[in-house]
Amino acid sequence: MSVPPSNRQPLPLPDSSGESAIADFASILAAQAPVALVLLDRQLRIQAASDRWLADSLRTAIPYGLPYLDSLPQPPTEWQAALESCLAGASVESPAAILTALDGQQLWVQWQAQPWRDRTGEISGVILAQQVRRDHPGFTTPWDNIFNTNRQSAEAALQASKRYYQTLAETVPVAIFNTDASGNCIYANQQACILTGLHQRALHGFNWLQAIAAEDRPRVQTEWQDASQSSYLFQSEFRFQRPDGSSRWIYAQARALIEPQRLQLASGYAIACVDVTDRKQFENALRQSEARNRAIVSAIPDLMMRIDGEGYYRDYIGEGDCQVHFARDRIGKHLREILPPDLAAEQLHYIQRALATGEPQVFEAQLTHDGRMYDQEIRIAVSGPDETLVIVRDISDRKQSAAALQRFQQAVESAGDAIVIADLDGRALYCNPAFAQLYRYPSVAALQSGGGLAATFTDADAMLGLFSTVLNGGTWSHEIEQRTCDGQAIQALLRASSIQADTGEIVGFVMLATDISERKANEAKLRQRQNYSTAIVEVQRYLLGDSDRTPDYQPVLEILGTVSQASRIYIFENHHDRSGRLLANYEAEWCAPGVSPDIDDPTLQNLDLAAAVPHWYPCLTSGQIIAEIIAELPSPEREALAAHGVLSILILPIFANGEFFGFIGFDDCETARQWDETDINLLQTVSVAIGLWQERRQTSATLRYRASQDKLLSRLSRQFIDRNLETAIDYALRAAGRFTRCDRTYIRRYSDNHDRLIQTHAWVHQSLAKVATAPLPDEFAVIPACERELQAGRAVAIATPDAWPGTADEHQNLFSADTQALLHVPLIYSGRVVGLIGVEQVRRWRPWTAADERLLRQIGEMIAIAEIRHTAETALRASEARLRQQTQDLETTLRELRRTQAQLVQTEKMSSLGQLVAGVAHEINNPVNFIYGNVDHAQDYTHDLIRLVRLYQQHYQTPVAAIATTCDDIDLEFLIEDLPKLLHSMQVGAERIKSIVASLRNFSRMDEAEMKAVDIHEGIDSTLTILHNRIKGSISHPGVEIVKNYGELPRVECYAGQLNQVFMNVLSNAIDALEERDRQRSSAEYEAAPSRIEIATQRSPDDWIEIRIRDNGEGIPAELLPRLFDPFFTTKPIGQGTGLGLSISYQIVAEKHGGRLECQSTLGVGTAFIIAIPSHQT
């Protein structure tokens, strides 16, 4: 029977695990049988079939699961019942019947069937032998005796069956072993000998397991033992190792042979082995083929689907690179459910046409997906009955490529690069217009007639390299020089690559040429510019490295000579002669090899530029660049330069600080060179750098000179401050002469009528004493031309007598005493020119600088300032003396006035206060005396009345009702008890009032205005009594503890009222300080350190009385103590103090009593005021 393919699963055979060996063996026999065999299950569906049955049925594959009767064309209806009876256990034979085959031929069909049972005896299906005849209706089958149960001779049938099966065993391509219980071979067929490579005699008694390859044998033995112990069908794949060293893959099945008498023991084993070497190789090849197929399918860029003739999706194979992916949920759906109606109808039309014609159909369509339009090529081919294979390819890129190709063709024609296509021999086949334009060949024919592509090459090696590369399939790219049709050299970027046919054969090459002549020229210019830039950087690094070194142009010229490719480079520096002409000196030179130097030519020193190069002179002085061909120059420049072999020249002027300093020249003695503008611009930076270098040198020298000048001026300013005016002026003139290296310096002032200049100060260099020069006069005439300059504030600078344009008299006046050069600077006082300060050079002419003028101006300003200051200081000292005296007088008067005013105010205030206090005390004293005088009598009367009431209570214990009621109403007992206390309290209050009145009278002392001996302690106590309300404290502030340490004092002669005022001021200030401090303290802090004022008095040995009043407050800062007794000085906020209390107290103590009032204070500890007065006033 045929084995089902791996992708289809037939209905499982009953008890396949137990009967598989027999089934496989039967399959092998059925494949050789002359009749068709079919295996049916209980539903009469085909499970297996022999090859003969397939041939008779005109089939190529077994229709697994198909009902058997459906496999026949119009079978008789009674065959169904016959087969069902077979399922009941009967053996059935059908009569011959005429059937029509699929090809229309008449068939005579006959079959025999019997049930087949599993190991348990249950019927699992039907095995049917079928015979088909196509030639005559009568036939018999050699299988009649197979299922015939009514045979007359079972023995004969058995013998015939044995012979038949033995023949089959020897002829079947299956190795059959029959072994004993130990696996030793009893019988082996010819195929077994072939597989093992052993003779049949050698196999007899041979354990068949020993034929297995050594590497497979342990596994097979384990499988054999497991199958033997569990009575399973043994199945395994392994290799037989043959004596010749080769091996064959074997698939083996084995079943134990059980004796009927000994059902639990196996008498031997039946083993069937099939050579599966080819299958193994095929499986391996199949796996590789499947892997290749999977790779091919995955690589196919198409979407493949199976669609039936009605337009329903059956399956799909792969999505490929199709942008519109296929979803599995489309299977079973119609085209109209997936595609737009028009596309679905069109595709269905082509599907049906393919099914009708059998020819593939190809068409293109467009499909919108995710908002994008896709172009698709759809191929339809018939893949089965009513089934097509639809292949969808995304050709959007191809469509775009086609459009791109068209654009490419247009681009090639319009390309800026030259393109040529040639064959392997180098013959041009095509060239675009750009090629014709670049190489000047109007056509391909003109190119070929002009020598072909080889004619465009100037380098044969490059051409050979190009051909060699492209003929080997490579790509060649180089920048080379080429030649045009007219022989002109061009620079081109040449790229070439081979052209290959579909077979991979190289058939030609394409060459692209880009004209890079301009780029190459620009690159050369860029390299030259880079060289210039590098040279310029080196020059600037050298020039700007140190501005103080001696000028050395040689390194600069050597750098420029290398980069500029000039024959000679040189530098001229300018200077002026005595007459002011501009001359130039040949300072430095560099010459290329073979060029004669000119540095030693004396005609090039002190060269008068205006006369030597009149054509160039105005250009150079105005900063213009000169770039000339010598042959084109006028005389005398042409003759002068031609004598030195110069063909072309470049001259760059050098300016420093805005002045024409000189120039740098470049000579070309080889060619009449046209100087490139870029070269000129870059070289000009060198001339600018040289100018900057000279500026730096000049600036550095100027700064050094100015620093020295400033140092000199600073020294002179100290001289004008430290010395007297005349000495300082002489020193300044001498210092100016030496600093400027002049022979004479002087100061000349205008006369009163301003018609003469009088020389007031002069200094002459000591070396002039050795030279016979005329002395300077003391007076000089005023020269109008000089006068105008000086009055305008300008200096008069004359470098040489020849430069003065005035009259002979003026010349004689100016240049007397052999003067060769002079500089006069106006001497200005308060904006008025009062004279001049001048310097002269006697021994040589001299050009004057701005630094010289600046020095003289500043010295003149110093002299003017010093004289003005001297005058002002003299007047100021006199004025200061007068003002100082006036100030002292005013201060004394003001101090006395303030003191008197304050004393008057205080005296008036105290007088008014004393009158008020005395009046109040007098008014209070009269009623208080009345009350105090009657209190004693009231107390006596009260005692008498109380005594009388007690007697009544003692003798009249039962008073009348009215008296008893009245006693209760007035609370007689309480009245008797409280009335004496009340009278006593009145007496204490009256005494207190008398004490206060006495203190007020004592404090005011209105009746003691004159000095009188008093008790100091009584005055202090009176003051404390008045301040009692502040001392005792209140809710808003705690009280102040008063500690009295009175000593033994005599009565002191003093102004008692004024002294009490001192006590009042000092104690009030102490209480104020303590209250201010206590407002910022907590209760705990107050209890830990309560506020205290200690009053101590003592008598000193010198009979002075000292009163010390000390508090434990915060103290007074040390910087305030010196001002404490100044009038109107106070530390209290505005409105809370006048600043007069301590000042008046100081006056009272110090001036009235001749004593001392001192203050001692320590921050954080407290303040003490010491009042000391003599006990007797003299």
* Residue 40 burial by Cβ neighbours in a 10 Å radius (0-12, 13-18, 19+): buried
Task: Say whether both 36 and 91 belong to one domain.
Answer: yes
Task: Say whether both 164 and 185 belong to one domain.
Answer: no
Which two three-digit tokens encode residue 301? 């860029």
Beta strands in 684-820 (DSSP E): 744-750, 756-764, 779-781, 796-798
Which of 143, 172, 201 terminates a domain? The answer is: 172
Residue 94 CA to residue 69 CA, distance in Å, equals 13
Label residue 359 by pLDDT band (50, 70, 90). Answer: very high
Q: What is the dihedral of CA 1076, 1077, 1083, 1089, to 10 degrees?
A: -140
Q: Are strands 475-483 and 489-500 parallel, antiparallel or unpaired?
A: antiparallel
Count CA within 13 A, CB hemisphere, residue 116. 22
Q: Is 1056 helix (H, G, I), strand (E, B) or coil?
A: helix
Highest mean pLDDT out of 157-166, 718-727, 1075-1084:
1075-1084
* C-alpha pair distances (Å), 593 with each of 566, 596, 763: 11, 8, 59
Q: Are strands 1092-1099 and 1041-1045 parallel, antiparallel or unpaired?
A: parallel
Phi, psi of 391 (to 5 degrees): -110, 120
Residue 311 CA to residue 349 CA, distance in Å, equals 9
Task: Say whether both 70 and 108 belong to one domain.
Answer: yes
Label residue 11 by pLDDT band (50, 70, 90). Answer: very low
pLDDT at 318: 61
* C-alpha pair distances (Å), 407 with each of 512, 1080, 1150: 18, 99, 123
- Per residue in 474-494, pLDDT (tens digit) is 899 998 999 999 888 888 889
- Per residue in 197-236, pLDDT (tens digit) is 888 888 888 888 888 888 988 998 888 887 777 666 788 8
| Other CB atoms within 10 Å distance of the CB of residue 376 | 21
pLDDT at 566: 87
Q: CATH number for the domain including 1102?
A: 3.30.565.10
- Per residue in 297-347, pLDDT (tens digit) is 666 777 888 899 999 988 876 655 554 545 556 788 888 888 888 988 998
Which of 980, 1007, 1034 terminates a domain? The answer is: 1007
- Per residue in 975-1031, pLDDT (tens digit) is 888 888 888 777 777 777 776 776 666 655 544 557 888 999 988 988 888 888 888
Domain annotation covers residue 78: yes
Residue 3 CA to residue 23 CA, distance in Å, equals 11
Task: Say whether both 993 and 1020 belong to one domain.
Answer: no
* Residue 527 burial by Cβ neighbours in a 10 Å radius (0-12, 13-18, 19+): exposed
Provide CB contacts within 8 A for 564, sequence distance 6+.
532, 666, 679, 683
Q: Cis omega before residue 636 (within 30°)?
A: yes
Provide CB contacts within 8 A for 1016, sequence distance 6+.
1049, 1052, 1054, 1059, 1097, 1105, 1107
Domain annotation covers residue 861: no
Q: CATH number for the domain including 674?
A: 3.30.450.40
Q: Tokens 């005594």 — which residue?
A: 947
Task: Say whether both 1020 and 1001 belong to one domain.
Answer: no
Provide CB contacts within 8 A for 514, sequence distance 6+.
416, 417, 418, 492, 493
Q: Does pLDDT of 409 surpass 80?
A: no
| Other CB atoms within 10 Å distance of the CB of residue 76 | 15
Q: Do 92 and 74 form a contact (C-beta atoms < 8 A)?
A: no
3-state secondary structure 504-530: CCEEEEEEEEEECHHHHHHHHHHHHHH
Q: Tokens 């070194």 — which residue?
A: 549
Higher pLDDT, 543 or 1164: 1164
pLDDT at 933: 75
Task: Say whether both 264 and 308 belong to one domain.
Answer: no
Which two three-digit tokens encode residue 534? 């590098």
Q: Amino acid letter at 64?
A: Y
Q: Is 889 helix (H, G, I), strand (E, B) or coil?
A: helix
* Residue 168 burial by Cβ neighbours in a 10 Å radius (0-12, 13-18, 19+): middle
Highest mean pLDDT out of 537-541, 688-692, 778-782, 1135-1139:
688-692
pLDDT at 372: 81
Domain range for 780 is 723-848
Domain annotation covers residue 737: yes
Domain annotation covers residue 930: yes
* C-alpha pair distances (Å), 244 with each of 195, 237, 247, 348: 12, 21, 9, 64
Q: CATH number for the domain including 423?
A: 3.30.450.20
pLDDT at 998: 67
Q: Tokens 């003191």 — which residue?
A: 899
Over the chain, what is the mean pLDDT? Answer: 79
| Axis crossing angle, helix 16-32 with helix 154-171, rounded to the nearest 10 | 80
Q: Does pLDDT of 9 surpass 50?
A: no
Label residue 62 by pLDDT band (50, 70, 90). Answer: confident
Residue 869 CA to residue 871 CA, distance in Å, equals 5
Which two three-digit tokens encode residue 817? 């005493």
From 422, 434, 504, 432, select the one nearest 463 (Cα to Cα): 422
Task: Say whether both 281 and 327 belong to one domain.
Answer: no
* C-alpha pair distances (Å), 286 with each of 239, 390, 798: 20, 26, 120
Residue 394 CA to residue 303 CA, distance in Å, equals 9
- Per residue in 831-883, pLDDT (tens digit) is 888 889 988 888 777 888 888 888 888 888 888 888 877 787 888 888 888 88
Task: Say whether both 59 and 195 belong to one domain.
Answer: no
Q: Does pLDDT of 258 surpass 50?
A: yes
Phi, psi of 1092 (to 5 degrees): -145, 140
3-state secondary structure 253-283: EEEEEECCCCCCCEEEEEEEEEECHHHHHHH
Radius of gyration of the chain (CA): 73
From 113, 97, 120, 98, select the one nearest 44 (Cα to Cα): 113
**Domain count for the chain:** 8
Which two three-digit tokens encode residue 929? 């005396």
For residues 448-461, average pLDDT: 87
Which of 398, 426, 447 terminates a domain? The answer is: 398
Which two three-digit tokens encode residue 841? 């050079």
Label residue 141 by pLDDT band (50, 70, 90). Answer: very low
Domain annotation covers residue 9: yes
Q: Are strands 46-49 and 97-100 parallel, antiparallel or unpaired?
A: unpaired
Q: Do 896 and 873 form a contact (C-beta atoms < 8 A)?
A: no
Residue 395 CA to residue 944 CA, distance in Å, equals 149
Higher pLDDT, 620 or 533: 620
Q: Do 789 and 798 form a contact (C-beta atoms < 8 A)?
A: no
- Per residue in 904-924, pLDDT (tens digit) is 665 666 656 666 666 676 677
Q: Does pLDDT of 1156 surpass 90?
A: yes
Count CA within 13 A, CB hemisphere, residue 278. 3
For residues 750-779, average pLDDT: 75
Q: Tokens 């010349």 — which residue?
A: 811
Domain annotation covers residue 697: yes
| Other CB atoms within 10 Å distance of the CB of residue 520 | 16
Task: Say whether both 471 and 601 belong to one domain.
Answer: no
Give the distance, in angstroms, between the CA of residue 368 and the centroid of all CA atoms in the same chain.
Answer: 46
Label residue 774 by pLDDT band (50, 70, 90). Answer: low
Phi, psi of 1135 (to 5 degrees): 95, -10
Task: Say whether both 149 and 183 belong to one domain.
Answer: no
The Cα angle at residue 988 between residues 983 and 990, in degrees rounded to 5: 95
Domain annotation covers residue 743: yes
Q: Does pLDDT of 397 surpass 70?
A: yes
* C-alpha pair distances (Å), 344 with each of 41, 264, 305, 315, 916: 45, 71, 14, 17, 132
Provide CB contacts within 8 A for 938, sequence distance 6+.
983
Burial 541-564 (b: 16+ CB within 10 A, else e): ebbeeebeeeeebeebbebbbebb
pTM over 0.75: no
Q: Does pLDDT of 618 surpass 80?
A: yes
Domain annotation covers residue 93: yes
Task: Say whether both 168 and 185 belong to one domain.
Answer: no
Q: Does pLDDT of 260 surpass 60?
A: no
Give the distance, in angstroms, between the CA of residue 1054 and the centroid of all CA atoms in the same chain.
Answer: 90
DSSP per-residue codes, 1114-1131: ----GGGGGGTTSTT---
Phi, psi of 483 (to 5 degrees): -125, 135
Task: Say whether both 268 and 313 belong to one domain.
Answer: no
Q: Partners of 391 in the beta sheet? A: 304, 379
pLDDT at 443: 87
| Other CB atoms within 10 Å distance of the CB of residue 934 | 13
pLDDT at 1044: 94
